[in-house]
Structure formats: structure tokens, C-alpha cells
Amino acid sequence: MTQLKVRVFSALALVLLLSLTYLFFAKIGVMSFGLVIFLLGSHEYYKMEMQSVVSSKLFLSIFLGTNFFLQYMLSFYERPLLSLIVVVLCLYVSFCMVYLQNSKSIEDIKRFMTSSLIGFLYTSVFPSFIIKIFDQPNGEYLLLTLLGIVFAGDIAAYFVGSSIGKTKIAPTISPGKTVEGAIGGAVFSVAIGVSFLYLFQIDTPIFYNLSATLGIAILAQFGDFFESLIKRSSKVKDSGTLLPGHGGVLDRLDGVYFAAPAFYFFYIALPALQTLK
């Protein structure tokens, strides 16, 4: 199966799986499924970025447990207890320093804690916006629009890049990606995003949608580059093996993770602020 077919198939399979979960288990089923998938992504991140420094199952369990706590708090609480989140993160950092001080160098401890904090941001904070988007009154339509923007851009970028791409955009991080592919992906993302917003009757002006979906599409591509950077620094081809032929959770959702906070801002937070005026 070619890479293009794999990308199309995995995108359609994920949308179908979410649709079936929603049909049989309603919103709570989809959100619970999302938390499990996000936790698998956290595990992939640990294996790539942190396991080479500390391979202890104890630290893996603590990292995943802290991740799950952050995901739950940020996803399901409109105003999460930030003080509690800060306390938990401080306890995590303190535990790392005390536990590792006798067995690891200062540089290893710094690297582990830095990777941990980046991991919490990348695999907890960012995906929590996906849950918050879906938890809106019209959340199923908003989530489909977000996925459409990201997946359409990913497929189009690969197709255009492999067909006519010549100018490398970031050869050190991701040698296969081209400027032509990035432009093609962004254009297709905007086209799909604006079409979905119109189809689902999201009441925002057309010029607003054009600029917002373009910004979301660009951030989705940055998410792809960020994950490529992690994989290249870790010397691995894929983040995991969950999806045959396409790698792991982060390989499929890297763009969605980066795009979700922007989508939340443009289509939930900003309209809500304007309503209050």
C-alpha cells in the first residue's frame, strides 16, 4: 500500500471509529476514547525522548499518571484548579531531582526534566483542547472540521510534494517535505475547512474563515515538523506501531495536537468574548 493510500485510509478509519463510538456511547464514550489515545501518545513520547535517560518503569508510571491528571483537569474543567496543577508539577520535578541525583549526571537530570515539561505541554495541554472542542453544544461538527482541516492538508501536502515538490523546506528536520507540498496542503486545508464550516452552518464570516483556517493549517504543519524533530533526535522512524503502515498515535495526530488550541481560540474562545461585548 502506497503512503498516500495509507494516509487516506488511516484518516478515514479514525473518523469512522470516532463516529461509531459516538453512535453507541455518545459524547462521554468519544471523550473517554480520546483520553486513552492521548495517554498512548504520552507513552510514545516517553519512549522517544525520555527512556534513553531513565528507563525505569516507576518513572514511566509517574509520567503517565501526571499526564493523565493534567489531561483530565484541562479537558473537563472549565476553570481548572491551576494551583493544584502547579503543585503536582512541582512535586513531579522535585521527585525527579531527589530520585535521580545519585544515579544520573546533572545534564541527564536537566534533560529528563526539560523533556518531561515539554512532554506535558505537547501530550497533555495541546490534546486537552480537542476534548474541549468536542464538548461544545455543536462539538461533533467542530471536531470533524478540525480533523478535516488537518487530515486534508496532510494528504494534499504528501500528494503535491511527491508529485511536483522540488524545494526542500526543512531538510535537516524532515528531508521529504517541500515548499510546494506545504503550499498545496495549506490551500487544500483552507478549502476543506471553509467548506465544512459552511456545511455545518458555523456562523462566521467567510473572510474570517479563510484567515482562521489558514492559520490553523500552518500550525498543523508545524506540529508535523515538531514530531519529525523528536523522531530525528531519537533516531526512530515512527513514534509507535499502533497504526500499521503509518506509525503511532503521534504520527497521526501531531498536526491535530498543534492545530487544536488555535481552532479553539478562533471558533470558541474568540466568538465567546465577542458575545460578551
* Residue 59: predicted pLDDT: 84
Nearest-5° Cα angle at 205, 202 to 206: 95
In the 8-state DSSP scheme, what is residue 53?
A: T
**Residue 186 scores a pLDDT above 80:** yes
pLDDT at 258 over 90: yes
Please tell me the predicted confidence (pLDDT) of residue 25.
Answer: 86
Is-contact 220 150, C-beta < 8 A? yes
Nearest CA to 31 out of 73, 61, 75 is that of 75
pLDDT at 89: 86
For residue 154, what pLDDT band results from cuts at 50, 70 and 90? very high
In tens, the pLDDT along 67-84 reads: 988 888 888 776 656 778
Altogether, the residues listed in the chain come to a count of 277
Report the SS3 class of residue 138. coil
Amino acid 236: pLDDT = 87
85: amino acid identity, one letter: I
Residue 1's pLDDT band, with cuts at 50, 70 and 90, is very low
- Mean pLDDT calculated for residue range 191-208: 93
245: left (phi over 0), alpha (psi -120 to 50) or beta: left
Which phi and psi angles does 54 have, rounded to 5°?
-135, 115
Question: pTM for this structure?
Answer: 0.91
**pLDDT range class, residue 191, cuts 50, 70, 90:** very high
Q: Does the pLDDT of residue 259 top 60, yes or no?
A: yes
- Render pLDDT for 27-44 as a digit per residue (tens, 0 to 9): 889 898 899 999 999 999
Task: Tally Cβ neighbours within 10 Å of residue 107.
Answer: 9
Beta bridge partners of 247: 243
What 3-state class would DSSP assign to 80?
coil
